[in-house]
């Protein structure tokens, strides 16, 4: 399993992936999956680009990692994601048998790894993940705040031009 001292490095890669989402007009969330020091999945939100409500960074990265390993069991893997996963993504992490989740900032509106729910450590489920939070938290939070501030400003400008 990857070492916690690598957390900032891999979260930095997730932040870079999130920038691609923003460039494509999507919420800047990036995810990276690492096993034995190798990145085996790297993705960003593509909901707007693909017009697919399930095209979250985590889901796309899980698909890539499973393809790389030719196995849907992702034992020995760590996911790094800039924002706390939602219920769909948290459920997918449990189902994948991922060992560890590292995320940047909490999601008080939809977080399912401690904020609203705690799917990834729920003892009633057949698998649980080790969770580390707050890695490069300020950078992750600022990236999202800047995106939504820009989006609000664009909407306000469009309204005044009408």
- Give the chain's end-to-end CA distance (angstroms, integer): 55
Which two three-digit tokens encode residue 87? 């219920």
Q: Which of 16, 22, 58, 157 is catalytic?
A: 58
Confidence of residue 147 (pLDDT cuts 50, 70, 90): very high
Radius of gyration of the chain (CA): 16
Q: Is the pTM of this model over 0.85?
A: yes
**CA distances (Å), origin 110, targets 16, 40, 117:** 23, 26, 8
Q: What is the pLDDT of residues 84-143, one digit of tens each?
A: 999 999 999 999 999 999 999 999 999 999 999 999 999 999 999 999 999 999 999 999
Which two three-digit tokens encode residue 32? 């990276």
Q: Tell me whether residue 23 is one of the annotated catalytic residues.
A: no
- Give the pLDDT mean for 9-31: 97
């Amino acid at each position: 399993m990857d070492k916690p001292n690598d957390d900032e490095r891999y979260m930095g890669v997730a932040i870079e992936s999130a920038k691609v989402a923003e460039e494509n007009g999507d919420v800047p969330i990036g995810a990276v999956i690492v096993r034995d020091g190798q990145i085996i999945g790297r993705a960003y939100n593509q909901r707007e680009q693909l017009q697919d409500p399930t095209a979250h960074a985590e889901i796309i990265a899980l698909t890539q990692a499973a393809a790389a390993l030719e196995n849907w069991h992702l034992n020995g893997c760590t996911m790094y994601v800039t924002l706390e996963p939602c219920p769909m993504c948290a459920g997918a992490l449990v189902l994948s048998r991922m060992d560890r989740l590292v995320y940047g900032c909490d999601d008080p509106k939809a977080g399912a790894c401690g904020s609203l729910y705690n799917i990834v450590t729920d003892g009633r489920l057949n698998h649980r993940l080790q969770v580390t939070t707050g890695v490069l938290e300020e950078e992750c939070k600022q990236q999202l705040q800047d995106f939504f501030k820009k989006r609000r400003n664009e909407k306000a400008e469009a309204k005044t031009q009408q």
